[in-house]
A and B are shown apart, each in its own frame.
Chain A
Amino acid sequence: MEVRYTDVDYLVFSDAASLVASGKSPYQRSTYRYSPLLAFLLVPNSIIHPSWGKFLFSASDLLVGLFIHTILELRKVPENLCTCALMVWLFNPFTFSIGTRGNCEPIVCAMILWIIICLMNGKVLQAAFWYGLVVHFRIYPIIYSIPIILVLDPHCFLYGLKPALSSWVGQGNSTQSIPSTAVPESCGIWIALTSMFTRARIMFGLISGAVFFAFTGLFFYLYRWEFLHEALLYHLTRTDPRHNFSIYFYHIYLHYEHEFSVVERLISFLPQFLVQLVLIVCFAQDLPFCFFAQTVAFVAFNKVITAQYFVWFFCLLPLILPWSNMKLKWTGLSCILLWMGTQTHWLMWGYLLEFKGKNVFLELWIASILFLAANTFVLIKIIRYHTYSSLFQRLEFSSSDNDLKEGKKSN
């Protein structure tokens, strides 16, 4: 068969797991660029059955569905909307094929959603633990660090208390009157700066950092520089000249004989950095939406894009759908068809290049430009039709007795 169903990555995980099972380093397996935790999880591939990993990833896929339902239920989304949003994940052919093909992304998605649930329940320490672990497991969730810190706003979130969540109140209506990132008029700069360092924020930063460094330190002790290079540094400096959905692949291939200068690297990083910064500043308080928009932009502007990365934002899409005014006919359909159409267009040229040996590098690169345009269009539409809704309600202090009261809804 020309194109196998099982992902090549699954064979890599399995080989690494069998190396671990025989007491060796998983990094003896060429192209294994993940945390050793993944190899440990797949050791039963060698003992029980080679499909153990696929069952694990598929179970994580279902767990993501459970967490989506939990999050929407906590925000009092009506049951019918919950079900529709859930179906977007569970019946999405991209997502269920990723797990069954043997890709580990559903585990990462489950951890991200669990972090959101922990924050919604006021469990900062738990959220911090899982956040440190997920960043160790897969570097990309580091982009969520600033929004999480910002959402732990002292006006909305007090350490040790369950925060008040803003509920779904129907499309078109926002539940937060004033963004809590606004600085009170009477505060000076020093007070504003010091008020940023709340107990919740400090604890989250310390615990997540400690967990990340603990796991990293442990595996560095076991596997030394090979682990550090393959599991961490490789992802930070990765430039892959082989064809992928990124607009940069052909540029990298055409210039691969020469080392890229620092200026060239900075220029290619600038779009990513700017978009992430603006999305965080604009949408941090609406945490699920901020996560979603950041992830779409991160994937679209990355130097390497493979199909498994799409799962990173597909798991967040159901969390924002109840707050979207976009109608399926015809805006929604046009977004879906445009995104899938440009992707299929790219896959066609990719197939001709890789499996038929035709020189279609230029056509493939143009297809990747069109795919970036489609991603941009879809993201703009989603932003345009989204009803901004802060995750947490603003807390109000009573001047007479210092009791905390829930913030009033803006309706």
Chain B
Amino acid sequence: MPPSTVSYHMESWQHVQVHICRILGIQLIFLVGFGFCMSSSFVSCEVGGCTSNVGSTNQSLNIPPYFEKHITKSYFDKYDSLLDSDFLDFISHELFPGSCELLLDNLNLVLRLSVQQRSLIGDGSHRHLSSSFRFNIQSELIAELPIHFCEAIIIEKLPYGIFADPFELQHLLQRGVFMGAAVFGDTNLELPSVHSNRSLVEVHMDVDLNTFSRHKDGLEINIDLPLHIRYPPLEESGYSNIELGAPDLFMRCSIEAKSHNQSCLLMLKDNGVALGNGPVVWRVPSGIKAHARAVSIVTFISAILSTLSIVLTSVYYSSTKLCKNLKQS
């Protein structure tokens, strides 16, 4: 092929390449502008409270609008961090409106928590907390109550060193695993235990008391919550044991009143029923303090040796090549 033809093809190919790159550049600018102009809502997710799909779920299940609120969100409006004593005060004084007393007394007679089973499934730093709760229901009484809709609310108060990923929960919400889920407190996914605070997970599950009242075994709620571990503080033994406490269970029902519907919240107590298989303990590997000095020394010696090797090689071979080139010229 003559050189002029080769040159022509090369120039044409270069023009094509430039053209492709110009198109890509224009598309990049277009996408940036498009991103600016986007205003339609697809997912609404606040860090610390994922409420995605609550709207669509509401429409499909006719859930009243006053049900959308997470009951523990206001705790973190008042307190900076999660403490068991503060949370008990919060439950006692702020969660229960007085107008529901009659209904709540009736519900207390109707529902009895019989079994709780909790276990950690999986190994390593990423596991599932599997919880199962069974309630006995007096079906003849449930039909007499003016209940419109009910949901179970499970509050997991996570200890130091364990966290839930709010975005992972959001994906579970989108798949319909939960009716509602939110994480409050310290949602930083990267910090070790030493520099982090506790967090709390609130999960909402749909409960149809009338359906369950027809079953002999009663009402059963199963939850599979994905949890993750932070790097724990250093331990001499090389392992840290983290205990997961029992959750707080609530039933929130919408009742039909004369003037307007309202929601009532009932705290389901375990009535002295012990956990079916004992407390849940997560054994986590931790760094060993005794390693600190040796690790630091060897780390820096390794870095220095590598540095010297590369520096000496670079200087030697670049000067060798320079001398060779000078001789050749």
Contact = CB atoms under 8 A, between A and B. Distances in A.
Q: Do A and B bind each other?
A: yes
Interface of A: 11-12, 15, 18-23, 28-31, 36-37, 39-41, 43-44, 46-47, 63, 66, 70, 73, 114, 174, 176-179, 240-242, 247-248, 250-251, 253-257, 267-268, 270-271, 274-275, 278-279, 282-283, 293, 297, 300-301, 353-362, 365, 369, 372-373, 375-376, 379-380, 383-384, 386-388, 410-411
Contacts of A114: 21
Nearest to A179: B322
B302 A383 contact: no
A271 B307 contact: yes
A365 to B, nearest CB: 6
Interface in B85-140: 123-126
Interface stretch (B68-76, B202-210, B243-251, B280-288): B280-288
A279 B311 CA distance: 8
30 contacts: A18-B43, A21-B35, A21-B38, A23-B39, A30-B188, A30-B189, A31-B190, A40-B32, A43-B35, A43-B38, A177-B325, A177-B328, A178-B325, A242-B231, A247-B299, A247-B303, A254-B292, A275-B310, A300-B306, A354-B126, A357-B285, A360-B285, A361-B291, A369-B298, A369-B299, A375-B306, A376-B309, A380-B313, A388-B325, A410-B328
Given A355-B126, A410-B325, 15 more contacts: A15-B167, A19-B43, A20-B35, A28-B46, A41-B35, A176-B325, A177-B328, A256-B192, A270-B307, A274-B307, A275-B307, A361-B285, A361-B288, A384-B317, A411-B328
Contact of A174 (B190, B285, B289, B321): B321
Nearest to B310: A275
B55 to A, nearest CB: 13
Interface in B170-206: 170-171, 187-190, 192, 194-195
Nearest to A45: B42
Contacts of B17: 66, 70
Interface stretch (B151-159, B217-225, B232-240, B265-273): B232-240
* The 10 A-B residue pairs with the shortest CB-CB distance in the complex, in nearest-first order: A40-B35, A177-B329, A359-B285, A282-B318, A355-B124, A271-B307, A359-B238, A254-B292, A376-B306, A388-B321
Given A11-B167, A255-B292, A357 B302 contact: no
B63 interface: no
B314 A283 contact: yes
Contacts of A20: 35, 38
Given A41-B28, A43-B34, A253 B123 contact: no
B316 to A, nearest CB: 9
Interface residues on B, range: 35 or more
Contacts of B61: none
B306 A30 contact: no
Contact of A410 (B304, B313, B329): B329
B44 interface: yes
Contact of A279 (B239, B283, B287, B314): B314
B183 to A, nearest CB: 10
Contact of A22 (B34, B44, B296): B44
Contacts of B45: 15, 18-19, 28
B31 interface: yes
B161 interface: no
Contacts of A301: 303, 306-307
Contacts of B302: 247, 369, 372-373
Nearest to B289: A254
A42 B314 CA distance: 42
A357 B124 contact: yes
A369 B38 CA distance: 48
Contact of A39 (B35, B234, B306): B35
Contacts of B300: 267-268
Nearest to A222: B36
Contacts of A70: 17
B54 to A, nearest CB: 15
A282 B314 contact: yes
Given A22-B40, A40-B35, A372 B306 contact: yes
B315 interface: yes
Contact of A30 (B32, B166, B313, B322): B166
Nearest to A382: B313
**What secondary structure prevails in chain B residues at the interface with A?**
helix
Contacts of A21: 35, 38, 40, 42
B216 interface: no
B310 A353 contact: no
A43 B35 CA distance: 6
B299 A174 contact: no
B255 to A, nearest CB: 35
- Give the most central of B40, B123, B238, B318: most A CB within 10 Å: B318
B125 A357 contact: yes
A178 B326 contact: yes
B329 A362 contact: no
B260 interface: no
Contact of B309 (A31, A46, A380): A380
Contacts of B192: 241-242, 253, 256
B224 to A, nearest CB: 15
B276 to A, nearest CB: 24
Contacts of A179: 322
A251 B294 CA distance: 9
A70 B21 CA distance: 13
A323 to B, nearest CB: 11
A267 B317 CA distance: 27
B258 interface: no
Nearest to B39: A23
B47 interface: yes
Nearest to B166: A30
Nearest to A255: B292
B295 interface: yes
B324 interface: yes
B231 A30 contact: no
A355 B126 CA distance: 7
B315 A278 contact: yes
B41 interface: yes
A170 B150 CA distance: 79
Contacts of B34: 40, 43
Contacts of B187: 30
A356 B307 CA distance: 35
Contacts of A40: 31-32, 34-36
A248 to B, nearest CB: 6
A247 B306 CA distance: 12
Listed residue (A39, A365, A375) with the most chain B CB atoms within 10 angstroms of its CB: A365
Contact of B311 (A247, A254, A278, A300): A278
Contacts of A31: 189-190
